[in-house]
Structure 1
Amino acid sequence: MQTTFFITAALLYALCAFLPARRRLAISAGTAVAWLLHGSALWADVVTPGSLRVGFAMMLSAAMWISVAAYWLENRNFALDGLRMLVLPCAAVMVLLPALFPGTVMALGQRSVLLPWHVTIAILAYSTLTIAAFHAVLMAIQDSRLHTRPGATVGGWFAAAIDRLPALLTMEKLLFRLIGFGFVLLTLTVLSGVIFSEELFGKAFRLDHKTVFTMLSWVLFGLLLAGRRWRGWRGKTALSFTLAGFSTLLLAYVGSRFVLEVVLHRGVA
């Protein structure tokens, strides 16, 4: 059933990505249906009776699920057709990843029934901040195109999508909304992780590479939000902090699991 949902969602994402912009209602409805199918399949695949399935593919698929939700909601306030051309094709690909890379099954046994919620919050936190990082990259590309001589611009589908993005100030507002939401989720992840660390590993605080890099990422994003609030940080400073925070978060989870699952063909807890 999950595979059917994943495939159907991928087809709907692809269709909505390339429909003419004037078909606004059809795009909105199709995207919403695809998003619901995508989310339902993800939840059914990750949370199974007596176990959890985790892996880098789940993380990337969840990241695109969050990205589609952000696009769909914000499209009601801003004209984001350029983002549609970038987000939905990526979602059509990422939604299929869990079927190709199923990840690792972690038995719950006698562990707390709240553990799946801790894992879900962590996935949503990582996913939201991953999307914020890609959003920052798009802003950097958009800014560079504004400073490029018209005769030197490169054409093509990607360039057309970049040119149709909202103004940089609007993109910046969207970026900080994503970062703020992601930071709240990451804070909940850190706090609940302390609780479940003892249950999983027998220690109230396990000092390993995941903990170190997650805490470093939390500090970086916290500093960025504080700098934005009190010092008005924006532009290159905001982009640098966003990408630095994302890089440490990537090292904390997704990168290590990709190496273990795909390169070394091993599962980890």
Structure 2
Amino acid sequence: MFFDIAFVFYLLALLHSMLYFFLGYKNLVKVLNFFVVLGLTLNTIFLVKLFALPGNSPFDTIGEIFVFLVFSINIFYLIIYWLYKRPLLYFALSPIILILSIVSIFTLDNVYSVSVNNNFWLYIHLPFVIFGTSLFLMSAITGIIYFLQEKQLKKKNFGLLFNKFPPLETINKLNNFTLLSGFSFYTIGVISGFIWSFYLLNFSFLSNPKILFAMISWCIFGAIILLKLFRGLSPKNIAFLSILGFISICITYLVVILLMRG
């Protein structure tokens, strides 16, 4: 019930982000963020209720994982807005938020089942992997925006998108911030996943595709970070690699979904 109402507030936030995109009224940003905060509050209450259920882990089903992913995306949006004052980021994020929310609503039937995954390290591994995923998503989106803005500059097509998007320098800062922050969170998630795998599988983590694919994604983003630090990648290359890295994250989630169904 709480998450259903949160979905309504997220939908209202999307509508106001669209109005702000096309009309540009600054007061719409306050309304947008107000609905985001309301939705996030109810989303948080729902997660607390999941944690409070005896014997239940809030990460047993895809629906529960997506609820937490929606929670983390909205948290980081508010943080980034506070730092950079870029509300149009929500315009790009909100369709993904709504899709994840709809999937969650239709797959939350078994939240009262008793969990078999109550190891302490699970509660570190999955939240930090999800936090990292949220930031990688934002990094990929800023990468796409970078290419769109650059294309408009080259063609000297200073239309609606050009006026609404921030300058390339700001986009690059957003991309770097989300990429580096996401890698930090994801690293903690991968390390705790190794420890969790040790307790469950006696260090045979290669037999667990979930951990293995998470490790592959971590290596891809680690390579991007190393190239950035030691090769001085251009903003364009960083934007491209951010998008490529997020595709690997999507493959990881697809594998997890198939395994959870199987």
How does the TM-score come out when normalised to structure 1? 0.77
> Structure 1 residues 6-15 or 190-199, which shifts more?
6-15
Given candidates 94, 101, 110, the residue that maps to 1:88 is 94
1:163 positional shift: 4.0
1:55 positional shift: 4.6
**For each residue in 1:91-133, what CA deviation from the matched residue of structure 2 results, as whole angstroms up to 9, or x when unmatched?**
3443332012338768544843442332222222223223322
Are residues 257 and 195 of structure 1, via their aligned partners in 2, closer, same or farther at CA, if it must alter by over 3 Å?
closer
Contact 2:14/2:32, CA 8 A, preserved across alignment:
no
> Structure 1 residues 122-131 or 7-16, which shifts more?
7-16
Matched, 1:51 2:56: yes
Give, in whole Å, the separation in 2 of the partners of 1:231 and 1:185: 23
Q: How does 1:94-243 map to 2 (within 5 A)?
A: 94-102=100-108, 107-109=114-116, 111-148=118-155, 150=157, 160-161=160-161, 163-200=163-200, 202-207=201-206, 208-243=208-243
Given candidates 22, 30, 53, the residue that maps to 2:26 is 22
Contact 1:122/1:186, CA 8 A, preserved across alignment:
yes
Are residues 248 and 91 of structure 1, via their aligned partners in 2, closer, same or farther at CA, if it must alter by over 3 Å?
closer
Q: SS where residue 82 of structure 2 aligns?
A: coil
Name the residue aligned to 2:9. 9
**For each residue in 1:208-261, what CA deviation from the matched residue of structure 2 results, as whole angstroms up to 9, or x when unmatched?**
443333222212212222332333223232123223322222222x1224456x
Give, in whole Å, the separation in 1 of the partners of 2:65 and 2:145: 21
Given candidates 29, 32, 39, the residue that maps to 1:34 is 39
> Structure 1 residues 128-137 or 73-82, which shifts more?
73-82
Structure 2: stretches of 5+ with no match in the other structure: none
Q: SS where residue 96 of structure 1 aligns?
A: helix
Aligned partner of 2:204: which letter? F
> Structure 1 residues 100-109 or 8-17, which shifts more?
100-109
1:42 positional shift: 4.4
Give, in whole Å, the separation in 2 of the partners of 1:189 and 1:100: 27
**For each residue in 1:54-107, what CA deviation from the matched residue of structure 2 results, as whole angstroms up to 9, or x when unmatched?**
455555554444333333233334342432333335434433320123387685
Are residues 77 and 108 of structure 1, via their aligned partners in 2, closer, same or farther at CA, if it must alter by over 3 Å?
closer
**For each residue in 1:123-173, what CA deviation from the matched residue of structure 2 results, as whole angstroms up to 9, or x when unmatched?**
2222322332232222222222222353xx8x7xxxx45641111111111
> Structure 1 residues 128-137 or 16-25, which shifts more?
16-25
Give, in whole Å, the separation in 2 of the partners of 1:259 and 1:112: 22
Q: How many residue pairs were aligned?
A: 254
Matched, 1:67 2:49: no
Q: SS where residue 102 of structure 1 aligns?
A: coil
Q: Let me know the Cα RMSD of the aligned residues.
A: 3.2
How does the TM-score come out when normalised to structure 2? 0.78
Contact 2:183/2:218, CA 8 A, preserved across alignment:
yes
Are residues 249 and 30 of structure 1, via their aligned partners in 2, closer, same or farther at CA, if it must alter by over 3 Å?
closer
Higher helix proportion (structure 1 or 2): 2
Give, in whole Å, the separation in 1 of the partners of 2:11 and 2:174: 27
Are residues 76 and 190 of structure 1, via their aligned partners in 2, closer, same or farther at CA, if it must alter by over 3 Å?
closer
Name the residue aligned to 2:255. 256
Contact 1:221/1:245, CA 8 A, preserved across alignment:
yes
Contact 2:63/2:103, CA 8 A, preserved across alignment:
yes
Aligned partner of 2:151: which letter? S
Give, in whole Å, the separation in 2 of the partners of 1:244 and 1:43: 34
Give, in whole Å, the separation in 2 of the partners of 1:14 and 1:115: 32
Of all paired residues, the percent bearing the same amino acid is 19
